[in-house]
Chain A
C-alpha cells in the first residue's frame, strides 16, 4: 500500500533569466510519505513546490498526478485536484473575516442563488479551524483580531479545505512557535495515517529529520540525493547541501563566557509595549547576551525599546559611553547601536532599492565630500561590506527583493557593520536562513565579540542561545523568569522550564 506512487515530477526544468532555478529535477512522492525538501536558500525548493502547486509553470518536464498527466494552470485548479500549499510569504488579507480568508476565491461553493450562505460557510470554517487547534475562535471575527502566529494557522486551515491528498508546507514552521509547530506535526501524522502525502520544506534540520520519512536534498537547482529515514543525519544532510564536508565550526566552542566588566548599555525598570514590564538589563563590552522566551513574551518589544523604536512607558535605556538616554532610533544610531528587525522583508530593508542604497542609508553622513554625498565613496563602502560578508549578488546595484533570504539578512546586518556600530541588537537573526548562512552569521558574531563589540541576541531558538551566548535571560509574560550563565551543562530543557 505504501508504495503506491501519488505524484511524479519528471525532469522538471525552470529558468529565470540567467538563473537556472531547477535543473532536470525528478522527484517521486508515494502515498504515506512525509517528504522533506531541503537545500540552501536559492537552491530551488520554493520554485519546485510552486510548480507542482500550480503557481508557476515549468519550462520542461511533466507532472504525473495519481497516474495521469497533470498541468495545473493555477493554485485554485491544483487545489481542486488535491494539491494544496501553504505559501512562504502570502499572508492573509486584513479587514475581512477569518472565514472570508479561508474561502477566498471559493465563496461559490456556498452559493445559493445570488447569495452566499454565510452560516454554512462559517460552519465549515469552524471545522477547519478545529483542525489547527483554533476551536475557540469565532470564524466570523475579523482576521485582524488574531496574532501573527494564528493568522499563519488560518492559512493552514485554508489549505486544508477540500481535503487535499498532497499537502505542501513551504517554510511554514519558520513563522510558528512550538505550539503552532505541534499543530503542523499533528496534521502530518494524520496525513500519513490516512495514506496521503506531505511535502515539507524547512530549514530546521532537526525538525526535518524528526518528522520526515524521506528527505530530498537540492543544491543549485539540481537533485543531489534522496535519503531514507535510516540514512538521515544532520551532518550528512549539511554535507550534501553544500557539496563538501563542513569543517567550519557552527556554535562557539569555548565555554568560559568571559567579558569585560565595562557596562555599555543599560535598561532600567523598562516597561514598554503590551507586556514588557519593569525589565532590567546590563550589557557589557564584549558580551553576547541572549534573550529567550515564547514569541509573545515581550522580547521583540524589548529589542525595539532598546533601539529607541518603541517609547518606554516607564524606565529608560542608556548607552554608557556617552551616558545618553536613548529616545529615538536616530539617537541610538548616533551612539553606535545597530538593530536588525525580526521582520526582515517588511521592516529591515527597502526591497525595491538596491543593496547599495540599503547598506549606505544609515551611514550617509560618513560618505560625504564636503556637503555632498560622494557616489564613489558610496560604491566603495557598499562593495567592501558585500565582500566582507560575502553577499551573493551580481553587483551592488542588484535590488534586495531578488536576493535569497540569507543574503537579505546579510544586507541588513551589513548596514551596521559599515557604520562601525559597537552595540548590536539582533532580533531573531537566523530566522528562515539556511545552515550555511547561519554558520557564517555565528562566525561573524564570534568575531565581533573578539573585537570587543557587544551583542544582544533575541531568539526563539534555544539551541542557538545556548551555543552562542555568555548569558541568557528568559522572559515570561513580559518579566524576567530566569537567567543562565554560559556553561556546557545548559540544556534546552532547563530553559523551557522557565519559559512556560
Chain B
C-alpha cells in the first residue's frame, strides 16, 4: 500500500519534471521571441502604427535580408564552437567577384560566382582553423584584414558598377522567396541531418563527439562551406540592390551577424542549445530595433549608442546563469 503510494508519487513527479524539461529546453529560444514581440509592440504604439505598415515591413525585409541569410549559415559554424568574424570582408570579396563578372558582360555567371567566391573564402578560413589548429577567431580576424585589403586595393580608384538590367532582380517578392527557401533548407540540414547534429555534438563536447564516431574535421568544414554559400547568396542580392561595389562594401557586417546571433539566444560556445530560430529572431530583432528608432525620429548619430544600451539590457535579461546545481 505504502509502496503503491510511493509509486504513484514517483509517476506524478516524473510527469511534472518531464514537462519541466521540455519547457527548459525551449525556454532559451522562447525569451528572445517574447523580446522581439514586446519590442515590436512598443515601437508600433510609440510610432503610432508606422512600424507595421506594409511599406515599412518591406523595408525591414530588405534590411534584415542579408543579415538573416548569413546568420542562418553562421549558425552551423557557431554551433560547433567556431567564432567567425570574417563575414564583412568575405561578403565584400564575393560582391567584388560577382560585380566584376557582370561588368564584363557575363550576367548569368554573376550569381554562381558570388556563391563560389564566398564558399572558397569560407573554406580557406575554415581550413586554416581546422587543419592547422589555429583558433577560428584569430583566423577570421586575419581573413577579415586580408579581404578588406584586397577590396581597398581593387576599388581604390573607382567603383565597379553592374549593368542596369540586373537591378530588376531586386524586388521583395524574389527576396522573400529566397529567404523562405534558405530558412527551410538550413533548418532541415541543421535539425534533421547529421550535419547539424554532429556540429552541435562537437560544440557540446568534442571528445565525446569523436568517441561517438563523428569525423570532426569533415563536419567542421561542411559547416564553413554552408556558411560560405549563404554569404554568397546574401552578397548577390546586395549587389543587385546597390548596383556597384566599393571599398567600404560589407564593412561592419560581421558585428551585425554576431549581435543578431547573441540576441537570438545562440550560445557562443555552441552545443545542444544552438538553434536555427535564433538566427531568424535575432536578425529581425536588430533590424526592428534600428528601424524602430529611425521611424521614431531618433537622431541618426546617436542611434548606434542607444542600440548598444538596449542590446546589453536584453542580453542581461535573457542570459541568466543556472542557479540550481544538483549534487548527490
Contact = CB atoms under 8 A, between A and B. Distances in A.
Interface of A: 16-19, 21, 41-47, 50, 56, 307, 309, 328-330, 332-334, 339, 341, 346-354, 357-358, 361-362, 364-365, 371-373, 375, 394-395, 397-399, 402, 404, 415
A395 B17 contact: yes
Best-surrounded residue of A348, A350, A402 (most CB of chain B within 10 A): A350
Interface stretch (B145-153, B189-197, B292-300, B306-314): B189-197
B204 A372 contact: no
A248 B238 CA distance: 70
A226 B204 CA distance: 42
A372 B192 contact: yes
Contact of B193 (A44, A45, A372): A372
Contacts of A41: 328
25 contacts: A17-B326, A19-B326, A41-B328, A42-B328, A43-B328, A45-B328, A47-B327, A309-B210, A309-B211, A346-B207, A350-B209, A350-B271, A354-B21, A354-B272, A357-B272, A361-B197, A361-B198, A361-B209, A364-B197, A373-B197, A394-B18, A395-B17, A397-B21, A398-B17, A404-B328
A347 B207 contact: yes
Given A18-B17, A350-B272, A353-B272, A46 B328 contact: yes
A342 to B, nearest CB: 11
Contacts of A394: 13-14, 17-18, 20-21
Contacts of B16: 18
B25 interface: yes
Contact of B21 (A16, A350, A398): A398
Contact of A395 (B14, B213, B324): B14
Nearest to A372: B192
A373 B193 contact: yes
B201 interface: yes
Given A329-B212, A339-B211, 6 more contacts: A18-B13, A21-B328, A330-B214, A346-B205, A352-B272, A353-B201
B244 interface: no
A354 B25 contact: yes
A352 B273 contact: yes
B197 A47 contact: no
Contacts of A372: 188, 192-193
A119 to B, nearest CB: 37
B21 A352 contact: no
Contacts of A399: 21
A350 B21 CA distance: 17
A329 B211 contact: yes
A157 B167 CA distance: 73
B215 interface: yes
Contacts of B171: none
B213 A329 contact: yes
A224 B299 CA distance: 71
B197 A350 contact: no
Contact of A397 (B25, B208, B212): B25
B51 to A, nearest CB: 36
Given A21-B327, A350-B272, A394-B18, A362 B204 contact: no
A362 B209 CA distance: 9
B18 A44 contact: no
A78 to B, nearest CB: 16
A362 to B, nearest CB: 4
Contacts of B17: 17-18, 394-395, 398
Contacts, number: 121
A21 B272 CA distance: 27
Nearest to A49: B327
Nearest to B267: A352
Nearest to A359: B212
B210 A50 contact: no
Contacts of A353: 200-201, 204, 271-272
B25 to A, nearest CB: 6
B320 interface: no
A371 B193 contact: yes
Interface in B1-41: 13-14, 16-18, 20-22, 25
Contacts of B214: 330, 361
Give me the 5 closest cross-chain CB pairs, A-B, nearest first: A350-B204, A394-B17, A395-B18, A333-B213, A350-B205
A402 B326 contact: yes
Given A353-B272, A371-B193, A394-B18, A347 B208 contact: yes
A348 B211 CA distance: 7
Contacts of A375: 192
A332 B213 CA distance: 8
Interface in B137-186: none
A397 B22 contact: yes
A171 to B, nearest CB: 11
Interface in B208-246: 208-215
B210 A329 contact: yes
Contacts of B14: 394-395
Given A364-B197, A394-B18, A395-B17, A373 B208 contact: no
A343 B272 CA distance: 21
A350 B327 contact: no
Given A17-B324, A44-B328, A330 B21 contact: no
B272 A348 contact: no
Contacts of A364: 194, 197-198
A34 B215 CA distance: 50
Contacts of A351: 204-205
Given A329-B211, A415-B212, A352 B204 contact: yes
A21 B327 CA distance: 8
A157 to B, nearest CB: 24
A382 B290 CA distance: 45
A18 B208 CA distance: 30
Contacts of B326: 16-17, 19, 21, 402
Contacts of B193: 371-373
